[in-house]
Amino acid sequence: MPGKPLIVILGPTASGKTGLAIEIAQHINGEIIGADSRQVYRYMDIGTAKPTLQQMQAVPHHLIDIIDPDDNLTLARYQQLAYQTIDSIHSRGRIPLLVGGTGQYITAVTEGWSIPQVQPDYLLRAELEAQAQRFGNEYLHQQLMQVDSDAAHKIHPNNIRRVIRALEVYRLTGEKISVLQRKIPPPYRIMELGLQIERQQLYDRADARVDHMITAGFLAEVENLLKRGYDRHLPSMSGLGYAQLAAHLLDGLPLEQAIHDTKIATHDFIRRQLTWFRHHDNGILWHNVTHHEKIIQLCSNWVAN
């Protein structure tokens, strides 16, 4: 028998995922599961473009605001929480929608990655980071190539966090992360919908959203995080806009430059998101974001069948 349904709504930042997902959920008796590595953090609302209170009241949302900015949510833990939430939604006779732009979160859930349950070793990470700073990212990547060539071929040398994680797993377990990351497909009937829009138009939308965030109080949000004692070097604070506005507040970077830098960083992030989705496209149905009625009808028909 086919598994229970799971609808995935994915796409780059500023592509309109949140609004469309809420419309779909309202039509098919659905609940939304966040797949965004920044929206999991509390106190980080404006800069992560979280759904508004009104939107979250309209449709139940899950896996948003679940950890503090100085906490760590591993990919394995996110996957576990996502599966638990999907099953809980099914138990209520409702339809889960996995919605977001964090490709690693989405792919780990839909492909059923077997993720190594290896706790971070922060001393080892600091040692490896120091090596990267001293000798360059390629130096660490070559270390990974020597012990796990399969992983090295899949991880770009500049993706230093993933390179370090792969080396960390090997050093602590003696096992290759590429072997430990075998895939066990989950027992769901999955439809993946991707939202697409012309690239320059997407950049323009992203730029306009940054301007709106500034108007909505993004700078005060970052200032409040710093006052709460959250260090600017935390992974959570490396998010789009947070690092740039922290540089304005702490280093005197002109606000106009911080906003400009945020927009450029967002464009780069969009390119990386699209590259991930292209490399992990197992049948994504791509649609123009403006075709709401068509997409809603598609989802309704798919659930009914």
The pLDDT of residue 115 is 82
pLDDT band (50, 70, 90) for residue 305: confident
pLDDT averaged over the chain? 95
Give 3-state DSSP helix, strand, coil % of the chain, rounded to 5: 55, 10, 30
pLDDT band (50, 70, 90) for residue 118: confident
Single-letter code of the amino acid located at 159: N
Phi, psi of 107 (to 5 degrees): -65, -40
The pLDDT of residue 226 is 98
3-class SS of residue 224:
helix
Structure tokens of 9? 């709504």
Is 162 a residue whose pLDDT tops 60?
yes
User: Tens of pLDDT along 186-224?
Assistant: 999 999 999 999 999 999 999 999 999 999 999 999 999
pLDDT band (50, 70, 90) for residue 180: confident
Contact 32, 59 (CB under 8 A): yes
pLDDT band (50, 70, 90) for residue 87: very high
Q: Which residue has the tokens 């028998």?
A: 1
The pLDDT of residue 143 is 95
Contact 44, 236 (CB under 8 A): yes
Is 1 a residue whose pLDDT tops 70?
no
The pLDDT of residue 65 is 97
The pLDDT of residue 178 is 87
Determine which of 1-5, 6-10, 166-170 has the lowest per-residue pLDDT on average. Answer: 1-5
Single-letter code of the amino acid located at 96: P
The pLDDT of residue 156 is 92
CA 255 to chain centre: 27
Q: How far apart are CA 203 and CA 153, in angstroms?
A: 30
* Alpha-helix residue ranges (DSSP H) falling in 217-291: 218-227, 242-251, 255-279
Secondary structure element (H or E) that encloses residue 207, with its range: helix 199-216
Classify the phi-psi angles of 300: left when phi > 0, otherwise alpha if psi is within -120 to 50, otherwise beta: alpha
Q: Which residues of the chain form beta strands (DSSP E)?
A: 4-10, 30-34, 61-62, 95-100, 188-196, 285-288
Is 55 a residue whose pLDDT tops 50?
yes
* Higher-pLDDT residue of 305, 238: 238
Instruction: Quote the pTM value.
Output: 0.86
Q: How far apart are CA 125 and CA 161, in angstroms?
A: 9
Average pLDDT (14-29) is 96
Q: How far apart are CA 244 and CA 280, in angstroms?
A: 30
Q: How far apart are CA 74 and CA 52, in angstroms?
A: 26
Structure tokens of 185? 């497909």
- CA dihedral of 172, 130, 67, 241, whole degrees rounded to 10: -150
User: Tens of pLDDT along 62-75?
Assistant: 999 999 999 989 89
The pLDDT of residue 181 is 77
Average pLDDT (259-273) is 97
CA distances, 179 to each of 115, 149, 166, 173, 275 (Å)? 10, 11, 11, 12, 24
Percent of the chain with pLDDT over 90: 90
Domains for the chain: give ranges and CATH numbers.
Answer: 4-114+185-199+284-304 (3.40.50.300), 122-180 (1.10.20.140), 201-271 (1.10.287.890)
Strand arrangement of the beta sheet that strand 95-100 belongs to: 61-62, 30-34, 95-100, 4-10, 188-196, 285-288
Q: How far apart are CA 266 and CA 224, in angstroms?
A: 22
